Structure 1
Amino acid sequence: MSDCLSADDRSAHANGRAAAPREGLPVANLLALATAGFITVLTEALPAGLLPLMSADLRVTEALIGQLVTIYALGSIVAAIPLVAATRGIGRRRLLIAALAGFVVSNALTTVSPHYALTLAARFVAGMSAGLLWALLAGYASRMVDECLRGRAIAVAMLGVPVAMSVGIPAGTALGAVFGWRIAFAGITLAALALIGWVRLRLPDHPGQPAGSREPVLAVMRLPGVRAVLAVMFAYVLAHNMLYTYIAPFLAGERMGAQVDTVLLVFGVASLAGIALTGAWIGAAQRRLTFASIALFALAALMLGAGAGMAAVYAGVALWGLAFGGAPTLFQTAAAQAAG
């Protein structure tokens, strides 16, 4: 049995109660969280693979379809802090179900929407749900395990990110090409519904913070390191989203328009390698891994921007995926540590 205790166990000891022994990682529960992350990333990035189809159906330019990813990110950023502040007293399972319900509603609206404006509004709602989900995911995973396993637990919970990139986006793009883009979003809606049932029946609940123990959000933001971590994370994610959203037009300009699925697959496989390395080394080399992720991403962007041919594009995409795979785990862990 582990010789370190979780936050809940320490609280139990402080109140004179015996802590329940826990061993290893609760893999099934963490995979439920990973599936939530999978749905979140799939909802966010799928328009990037379906740009031409959605543009033709909604009768707007591809640039405007790209803004569906931007408005999603805006909803996530704008809503994250207010929603987290408003929901800190709510149980974690109930909050996760609420976030997933937001994905059900927003993706269902996207599936049936005949108008760009309605689709844009649905995407903003999806972004709000994402902001809530990302804010609770790492903490939820951490509270399932002993303290010494938190890095690995977060890595498993974040596994949905590279899996969505490596499998979900190419599969969704292929599904949309064969059956129509609306079927792809209908599939995400059904997946989110199924996950709500899984979470409701199987995941342990953890209470929110009691009113007297909650740190004001602004006080947390003033803690040393928090703003720096959030600023770097914001810039990293913004750069990634800009590049990923317009990958199809970029490849068309490189005469690789027919290879979008293959390029996304390379990105995803490299992301899986990145998260595997992060999960193995985060405990011993978190800081170095974070700097390596940023440096590799910058190098990948330079390689892609140089436009030196197909080999350079594939090499740049592989480096990009390797850098991005572990980034969510690294930044979430750094933010949690900075916030105490």
Structure 2
Amino acid sequence: MAMTPAHTLNLCGVLSESKRIVNAHSRHFLALSVLFLLPLSCSIVFYPTLYLPNPRADVVSSDGDYTFKSLETLIFPLIYTLVVYLISLCALATITHSTYHGFYGRPVKFVPALKSIIISFLPLVSTVIAAKFFLFLISLSFLMFAFVIVKLAQNLGFIVDYNSSNFLWFCIFLGVALGLVMLYFQVIWGLAPVIAVTESKWGFEPLWRSSYLVNGMRSVSLSLFLVFGILIGFLVWMATKSVMDFAIVEDWKSWDFVLQTIISSGFLTVLTVLLLHYTAANTVLYMYCKALHGELAIEIAEEFAREYLSLPFDDEKIPHIVTVISA
């Protein structure tokens, strides 16, 4: 029976355990990253360069060119969004499935990880739709509140100047309030994708289950989201800027072209690694939340009993026990 040092239920414990799992199956996670996360990183970074103005394009355009541009403006973003969501769901399903089994010390194999996409796809899609629908209702409520306040002020005889600083501060206040509400739901619903994959729950059920499990660990969930969110956002901005500089280099034989290629590749690599570790860390956070609520000990006992009865032991099937203590 494999034992690991005790970890406290905090951000360092989550990051340490997720790093251990990824390093223990480095080739497996590397294959998944190259298959899903690297194309995802490239699609996020390279997409803005499609809208760079072409200096060689003619100023005069025909009606056909205008129609093509209109279709391009409508269709391409839709196709791009669908592709990005599809790749994201595949990456989320496979990495979460692998991290979950790696946490228990089970064999982590490539083919079962790919099969998890079929099992987890519909639960993930339904969970995403449920979350987006709920957040849409919240955003709509804020817009209706702003509309009612403006109309009420006008009915009371106040002159509403949409260009005034007061109205601008009012909009900023609503924007900040809406952002904080969105952040709150991101924190309490952060485990919903993991629940959809590991427990095969659908729709709103993973959202309610996540809000229950994360209770008592909200600070860790918030810290995890902020740390990786800031790092990933900064990397996306830097990589996009580097790719845009790369796109305007005309001479591919110049040193500028070579330098921009190296810089862009480096940013994409680091971005891929961050996405991998964020997904793995979120899965470990799910396990730690279950430990805090007393659910993990029961599962580990069942896991040990099942492996104990299946003698002789195989090296890959030695149950992995993680001891966690509350901070």
Same fold (TM over 0.5): no
> Scaled by the length of structure 1, what TM-score is found?
0.37
Q: Which structure exhibits the higher relative contact order, with contacts defined as CA atoms closer than 8 Å and separated by 6 or more residues?
A: 2
Richer in helix (by share): 1
The structure that has the greater radius of gyration is 2
